[in-house]
Amino acid sequence: MVPAPASQAPPRAACPELHLPPPLPGIVAAVGEDELRWLCLRLAEALQAGPLAAVWQLEVDEFSDLAGELAELVVHGLAGRQRQRAVIAWVRLWGRHGPLALDEGLRQSWLGLWSGQLQRVPLPAYLARPLVRWMEALTAQWVQPGAATVLAFPRASPG
C-alpha cells in the first residue's frame, strides 16, 4: 500500500507524556548499562520473533532503530541521572513508529520475555525482581483494551 501524501495523511495525536517508574541506579550500576542495552535488544528480537510477529513486521533498519530507542528508554529511565534521554527516546519512538499500544495479553507476553531475558544473565533475585517490577510499571501505561497494534508505522495503518 502506498502511503498518502503528507497533506492527505490524518494528523497524528500529540505524543503522550511518558511516566517513568522511579529509577533504580543501584541496579544499573550492578548490572551495567551495556548489559541492560543487550537485554533490551534481545527482548526486542524475542518480541518480533514471537507474540508480535504478525504486527511487528519491520525492515532491518527500522527494527534496529526501534530496538535502539527502546534500549535507550529503559537504560536511561532506570539510571535516573539522565532521564531526559529516556524521554527523548520515547518521543523518537512515538514520532518514528507511531503509538505504542498493548492489549493485556501482549503486555503479559512482553513481561514474560523480559523475565526470560533476565534469567539468561546471572542476576541474583534481589536484582531481577525490581527490574521486572520496573518493566511492569512502565508497560502498564501502554495497555489499551483491544489494542492490536504495537508500534505500527504510519504507512502500515489503514487509509
Burial class (CB in 10 A: 0-12, 13-18, 19+), 144: middle
How many whole angstroms from its chain centre is CA 120? 19
Paired strand residues for 150: 100
Domains and CATH numbers, the chain: 25-151 (1.10.490.10)
Write down the pLDDT at residue 112.
Answer: 94
- Report the helix count and the strand count for the chain, using DSSP H and E: 6, 0
Q: Transcribe 32-70 into DSSP letters.
A: -HHHHHHHHHHHHHHHHHTTTTTT----HHHHHHHHHHH
Cβ atoms of 75 and 40 closer than 8 Å: yes
For the entire predicted model, the pTM comes to 0.77
Q: What is the predicted pLDDT for the residue at 129?
A: 93
pLDDT score at 62: 76
The pLDDT of residue 55 is 63
Q: What is the pLDDT of residue 154?
A: 37
Of 138, 27, 38, 35, the C-alpha closest to 79 is 27
State residue 159's pLDDT score: 36
- Residue 5, pLDDT score: 52
Q: Is 103 helix (H, G, I), strand (E, B) or coil?
A: coil
Output the pLDDT for position 58.
66
Per-residue confidence of the chain (159 residues) as pLDDT tens digits?
445 555 555 555 677 788 889 999 899 999 999 999 999 999 888 888 887 766 666 676 777 787 888 899 999 899 987 778 888 888 887 777 666 777 888 889 889 999 999 998 888 889 999 999 999 999 898 887 765 554 443 333 333
